[in-house]
Structure 1
């Protein structure tokens, strides 16, 4: 009924459709014929316009036929305009060839440059290391809110699904661990966004993917300046930019599983002031079915963002700009760590045991960033940013049944003596232990970046220097309540006390001071980027393990009146890297790079526990080809770990947060990406393909309490790294319709370290997913949208952790309207 009402509203709203005409075209570099990204193409005297994507393509629809002046402008290029006459009912193809000019960014554009990992006006052929951008146009095709679906198109990026919605992403790059995305640098607008990247990187947080306008992925030698994790790479969530002119956008969707989504923003800019107000509201009733009751297994997420920017007039002698960004996110999700046994999964993969009926994540996040940019000289810019992130979450979830951990019960399966309790209608008291995983995270820092462009010995240089002072912490203050099942309902039979119980009263803190230097210069046909990052890190853990009552117990000091046990660690690290790009032709370049990989360790369990940092040497070599509407990139990489680091979170084990060293590991891989646009009269057929091949190998034998490793022998493969990943997409676009089909294939993965043929008990299934989306252009201001996720309604086992096997989201149909004013 809701869906029907939404469609009726869309039809009513869009009944103002007129006979429109369309400009389609491409913008290329005049000398190399390489498409240029982020070119603003506008029709003079109107609000109609578009920005080119990575293929240099743009589409603009106007209300009526006539003669128009079309202007193309981009940072680093001379603007060009053309006078075009359009006939009613026809589209017009336009080609712009822009000439390069020296980039002189004003402070407003400097702010945008520093929020990006790939920069503005960059020629992708000249970027050292791997760089991928998921553009607004890519995102508009499917309007995904699941970060896993969004980044699946990027080669060299791995993820493990957990809840089917992408609420708890587990992302890795080039063979790094995927656990809670703890081994990559998560950023939003170039600012660290992980709640505590030094003291507790496995914090189960991801920004709201649905409100972003693009995503950037950097891998290889040129990403070391971001830190602290430099082996894999960095994922940058790029939030909606303040628009140049007044604009209103609204995406209103509804669908199966009581899904409703609303993404609305309004903003504009004047000569000295700009603003953006945005909200993203996302709600679902969930797709899993609880035993005994039809309770909600979905989530409700609300996200609000405001940006305000002030800048000096253009005539000001020292151009300056300052931007304030503030966001608030609230999430309540009825999610659990409890999966299914393999036997039950085979019968009904969407089942959920009654014992998890009251599991709930309650999370709140705030972010404030103040960034200033100044240009004291034409060739020098300076930015300073202060950031503060606060994240509080209490995941109230089933931990033990009958005194046994849920992971141990489900690893044994239906034969475990306590298995029947998971779906029992009545039990004794205190059978179910439900832990309040209550954590408060705080992160604060200041970062300074200066960039200067100059010539030295007849060689042009772009020199960048940066400094960051960062502190973060996690306050772990938990309790365990006990329940019994009474007439199919969980009833509390023993209430716990916050701060009591094993490992439930801990405080982790960390501080880091880092510097980086990077110089980019050309020697003949070779562009060299050389950089170094230096970092001083201190981490500390406090545990209140004593008994404040004096009765000789342990972990019974909720008021923290006794002296805590303290374990700390200090370390310094220098991370160098160098990248080379050989420009063989205007369309073809070779690239290579080498850099040091690093991830900081925690303080350790006790004085005898000396955890070493994760360190590696990382190599890459490949080529890029771009000509017209064709782009191909292929990279071979090798990550050689001297010491691999594992974290015992409850996601991967018992939740002790102890760390384990694994010694030497080698990871080899191939990344391939290709895209092409076929033009047929008034139609365009975009094609995209990406593929990743990976091999992993432990080079030493050892015993470990870390569940995914266990007993490891030399030659064993790492868990949760697929051998093959494939993403393919095809579309059909004309002035009225845009339809797309995408396919994702992921080979089976080991769930524990091993060698030889896969054991079905210790591996995931092959994943094959097919999605479809279509958009109908009613007017330039209103589009109708339809998406079918998982068309074939497949139900593979995508993971066997945190506890038990898990499915991906089943078939889901979503429809709605997109409005642009």
Structure 2
């Protein structure tokens, strides 16, 4: 594909041969007939000429999703931007198997879980941005306590729930989520977007201003700049939030064989955190805050650099490098009088703690892809270094005395090697990919206060096997089985309790079927066999090894194009979890609802578009003991089921030349559903209210 066709070239998935054989109706499913012809033409033009690539997932497109050998959902730009979602977390709610707990209403601290795995701090997912790991500590601190991603800067979100563990690790038990930022356009263009969210309950206003400019600077150099500024309050008291996200992209074409790409980013957030409420306070006024000292400040500077060398159509070498320097601090009140839990929102704070974390992380990853006959071979290696300062300080309110409660240092050195071979049979209809990943992790911990040191090493072979079969023009069947690793985290190794490196086996069996030219359906059976799963117990402030756990169920999705105006979507997830050992043997896992239903209706007519989305989530437990009756401080108890309905209407206006103005109005949580989850992180005790009804006004100008 030449540079003149598109500035960010699409890459070839190992199963692109199967994609090329898909019927036109399958490639165009879910689009209006007017758009089908264009997509069909693009598919016909692109697929035959695509080269082999070291990127296993390939482009985040509907075509890649359809023939991927595992459960995968690509949420494209239109769905992200035009669904009336309150924030990025909210936009992912309808995805099969995904659980979202909204801590702030502003999206600065996401809590995303998959298939019954702990959603708090999104710690059971391998989260990437443009293929690069984004966790503040990819090995030692996998929880996303700093999330340098904002919704307007995204082109797509690629949620891969199975089949990617060999190529993307560690911490991939729940799968891989790749946030794909907007590519540099082939021709110079600009976007200006303003979004205002008004919370009905309090009248709080949150503004989101976005600007992008990009295109060809010279015949060989493409540049793009994005700026996103967010200001205002969430739907509760004590929720003032400021976010700045600046991104600079560059791509340089040395010649037909060599391409250089780089991204620089600066992200900063300063936010008040309203925290959890006691049950009594929640019933009085769910928008209030009982945590006046809780807050959050963070900034991150990131840089990535990729060299892609393509000496021939059947060979690609890619060398990816990344570095980030991050500083994040939580501020939180503590009651250390001994009269109850230190985080009980009903107790006055005796101390204010702050927990600064300084991270310097760098990584380098060469990858080689070779096609030889019926074999697509991928070889890769990665080295990651993490230098972490992990502190806690306390201010005693009565005396003004300040003390150092924790002063830790952690050095992590990790090496990973992986290899896979996609072998094609039956005229490329059957693809079998055995693979193996090797992880060698060395963590050196030092307590600067006591002088104690501790080492934690992990050395694991992680095999995997994926199979994809194009059984007919309309039916694609897949299966996979892969082993995953989560190294012990720094916060776990230094607390009381027996914890260990976590491993799990992930299994999937699924199918995607073009039932009719207008109806597409998919079904996935999944099972996770987890060893040594670790959960945080809010009541005791300790990490507990739950031992063996099992997660299994089914995910169903359907998409139906009624005509060139109407499109319907329907999804269902059934989840069965069980603790197989320990004191809570036989119990369900926390935050693991059994049923989830999602439905969507989209209507387009000329320049108008409208959508209605509904998500239902059944009740679940908030602790491993499966406590049903709520405790007096709200630390445990059953979580309620809830229904969320969001509606949006928008219209495009031509405003001269190539300028297009889109105006939109959305109502989020249309039915004003009242629901909550239990506390998280620095406010672990009590109910955390979820956002009520809000109104969103949007205007976007493309020119």
Length-normalised TM-score, structure 2: 0.88
- Tell me, in whole angstroms, the C-alpha distance in 2 between the residues paired with 1:331 and 1:146: 15
Structure 1 position 719 matched with structure 2 position 590: yes
Structure 1 position 598 matched with structure 2 position 512: no
With over 3 angstroms needed to count, the CA separation of the structure-2 counterparts of 1:635 and 1:719, relative to structure 1, is: same
Structure 1 position 380 matched with structure 2 position 264: no
2:400 counterpart (458, 473, 494): 494
- Tell me, in whole angstroms, the C-alpha distance in 2 between the residues paired with 1:30 and 1:156: 29
1:437 equivalent in structure 2: 355
With over 3 angstroms needed to count, the CA separation of the structure-2 counterparts of 1:452 and 1:605, relative to structure 1, is: closer
Conserved? CA contact 2:164–2:176, under 8 Å:
no
Conserved? CA contact 1:599–1:615, under 8 Å:
yes
1:733 counterpart (595, 601, 604): 604
2:509 counterpart (621, 625, 630): 621
- Tell me, in whole angstroms, the C-alpha distance in 2 between the residues paired with 1:324 and 1:247: 20
With over 3 angstroms needed to count, the CA separation of the structure-2 counterparts of 1:129 and 1:183, relative to structure 1, is: same
Q: 1:474 offset after TM fit, Å? A: 2.5
- Tell me, in whole angstroms, the C-alpha distance in 1 between the residues paired with 2:21 and 2:493: 61
Conserved? CA contact 1:116–1:190, under 8 Å:
no
2:561 counterpart (677, 683, 689): 677
Conserved? CA contact 1:125–1:625, under 8 Å:
no
2:390 equivalent in structure 1: 476
Deviation per CA, 1:383-427, whole angstroms, max 9, x where unpaired?
1111012221121121226455656635xxxxxxxx4x54xxxxx
1:640 counterpart (529, 534, 537): 529
- Tell me, in whole angstroms, the C-alpha distance in 2 between the residues paired with 1:446 and 1:258: 42
2:134 equivalent in structure 1: 193
Structure 1 position 330 matched with structure 2 position 307: no
The 3-state SS of whatever aligns with 1:101 is: helix
Q: 1:790 offset after TM fit, Å? A: 1.1
- Tell me, in whole angstroms, the C-alpha distance in 2 between the residues paired with 1:115 and 1:308: 23
The 3-state SS of whatever aligns with 2:50 is: coil
Structure 1 position 275 matched with structure 2 position 223: yes
Structure 1 position 759 matched with structure 2 position 629: yes
With over 3 angstroms needed to count, the CA separation of the structure-2 counterparts of 1:796 and 1:653, relative to structure 1, is: same
Conserved? CA contact 1:224–1:230, under 8 Å:
no
- Tell me, in whole angstroms, the C-alpha distance in 1 between the residues paired with 2:384 and 2:540: 30
Conserved? CA contact 2:32–2:561, under 8 Å:
no
Conserved? CA contact 2:65–2:74, under 8 Å:
no
With over 3 angstroms needed to count, the CA separation of the structure-2 counterparts of 1:407 and 1:148, relative to structure 1, is: farther
2:277 counterpart (340, 349, 358): 340
Q: 1:35 offset after TM fit, Å? A: 3.8
Conserved? CA contact 2:295–2:331, under 8 Å:
yes
- Tell me, in whole angstroms, the C-alpha distance in 2 between the residues paired with 1:731 and 1:361: 38
1:668 equivalent in structure 2: 552
Q: Which runs of 5 or more structure 1 residues have no equivalent in the other structure?
A: 1-27, 38-53, 61-68, 80-99, 290-295, 411-418, 423-430, 485-492, 547-563, 703-711
Q: 1:719 offset after TM fit, Å? A: 0.8
Conserved? CA contact 1:541–1:568, under 8 Å:
yes
With over 3 angstroms needed to count, the CA separation of the structure-2 counterparts of 1:621 and 1:469, relative to structure 1, is: same
1:392 equivalent in structure 2: 327
Q: 1:119 offset after TM fit, Å? A: 5.9
The 3-state SS of whatever aligns with 2:82 is: helix
1:786 equivalent in structure 2: 665
2:409 counterpart (507, 521, 527): 507
1:180 equivalent in structure 2: 121
With over 3 angstroms needed to count, the CA separation of the structure-2 counterparts of 1:261 and 1:508, relative to structure 1, is: same
Conserved? CA contact 1:160–1:720, under 8 Å:
no
Structure 1 position 463 matched with structure 2 position 397: no
Higher alpha-carbon deviation: 271-280 or 166-175:
166-175
- Tell me, in whole angstroms, the C-alpha distance in 2 between the residues paired with 1:607 and 1:284: 37
- Tell me, in whole angstroms, the C-alpha distance in 2 between the residues paired with 1:238 and 1:145: 19
Q: 1:203 offset after TM fit, Å? A: 4.6
The 3-state SS of whatever aligns with 1:813 is: strand
- Tell me, in whole angstroms, the C-alpha distance in 1 between the residues paired with 2:231 and 2:109: 16
- Tell me, in whole angstroms, the C-alpha distance in 2 between the residues paired with 1:723 and 1:607: 32
Deviation per CA, 1:260-280, whole angstroms, max 9, x where unpaired?
111110100253110110011
The 3-state SS of whatever aligns with 2:108 is: coil
1:589 equivalent in structure 2: 476
With over 3 angstroms needed to count, the CA separation of the structure-2 counterparts of 1:754 and 1:31, relative to structure 1, is: closer
Q: 1:607 offset after TM fit, Å? A: 12
With over 3 angstroms needed to count, the CA separation of the structure-2 counterparts of 1:70 and 1:812, relative to structure 1, is: closer
Deviation per CA, 1:47-81, whole angstroms, max 9, x where unpaired?
xxxxxxx7355878xxxxxxxx989754x7337xx
- Tell me, in whole angstroms, the C-alpha distance in 1 between the residues paired with 2:59 and 2:229: 29
With over 3 angstroms needed to count, the CA separation of the structure-2 counterparts of 1:115 and 1:361, relative to structure 1, is: farther
Q: 1:577 offset after TM fit, Å? A: 0.9
Q: 1:172 offset after TM fit, Å? A: 2.1
- Tell me, in whole angstroms, the C-alpha distance in 2 between the residues paired with 1:672 and 1:135: 19
- Tell me, in whole angstroms, the C-alpha distance in 1 between the residues paired with 2:547 and 2:55: 37
Deviation per CA, 1:134-178, whole angstroms, max 9, x where unpaired?
001111213646232121121122232322333211222222222
The 3-state SS of whatever aligns with 2:281 is: helix
Conserved? CA contact 2:519–2:561, under 8 Å:
yes
Conserved? CA contact 1:184–1:235, under 8 Å:
yes
Conserved? CA contact 1:367–1:387, under 8 Å:
yes
- Tell me, in whole angstroms, the C-alpha distance in 1 between the residues paired with 2:56 and 2:697: 32
The 3-state SS of whatever aligns with 1:287 is: coil
The higher radius of gyration belongs to 1
With over 3 angstroms needed to count, the CA separation of the structure-2 counterparts of 1:171 and 1:608, relative to structure 1, is: closer
- Larger RCO, structure (CA 8 Å, separation 6 or more): 2
- Tell me, in whole angstroms, the C-alpha distance in 1 between the residues paired with 2:186 and 2:462: 39
- Tell me, in whole angstroms, the C-alpha distance in 1 between the residues paired with 2:456 and 2:481: 28
With over 3 angstroms needed to count, the CA separation of the structure-2 counterparts of 1:139 and 1:602, relative to structure 1, is: closer
Deviation per CA, 1:444-484, whole angstroms, max 9, x where unpaired?
100111112220xxxx2221111110112331122111226
CA RMSD of aligned residues (A): 2.7
With over 3 angstroms needed to count, the CA separation of the structure-2 counterparts of 1:608 and 1:232, relative to structure 1, is: closer
Q: 1:511 offset after TM fit, Å? A: 1.3
Conserved? CA contact 2:135–2:141, under 8 Å:
no
- Tell me, in whole angstroms, the C-alpha distance in 2 between the residues paired with 1:398 and 1:237: 34
Structure 1 position 809 matched with structure 2 position 673: no
Conserved? CA contact 1:330–1:364, under 8 Å:
yes
With over 3 angstroms needed to count, the CA separation of the structure-2 counterparts of 1:607 and 1:365, relative to structure 1, is: closer
Q: Which runs of 5 or more structure 2 residues have no equivalent in the other structure?
A: 1-18, 199-203, 632-636
Conserved? CA contact 1:118–1:131, under 8 Å:
no
Deviation per CA, 1:476-517, whole angstroms, max 9, x where unpaired?
122111226xxxxxxxx41414xx12xx11112211100111
- Tell me, in whole angstroms, the C-alpha distance in 2 between the residues paired with 1:58 and 1:199: 49
With over 3 angstroms needed to count, the CA separation of the structure-2 counterparts of 1:686 and 1:454, relative to structure 1, is: same
- Tell me, in whole angstroms, the C-alpha distance in 1 between the residues paired with 2:495 and 2:553: 38
- Tell me, in whole angstroms, the C-alpha distance in 2 between the residues paired with 1:170 and 1:763: 19
- Tell me, in whole angstroms, the C-alpha distance in 1 between the residues paired with 2:229 and 2:175: 30
The 3-state SS of whatever aligns with 1:676 is: strand
Q: 1:807 offset after TM fit, Å? A: 1.0
- Tell me, in whole angstroms, the C-alpha distance in 2 between the residues paired with 1:209 and 1:608: 37
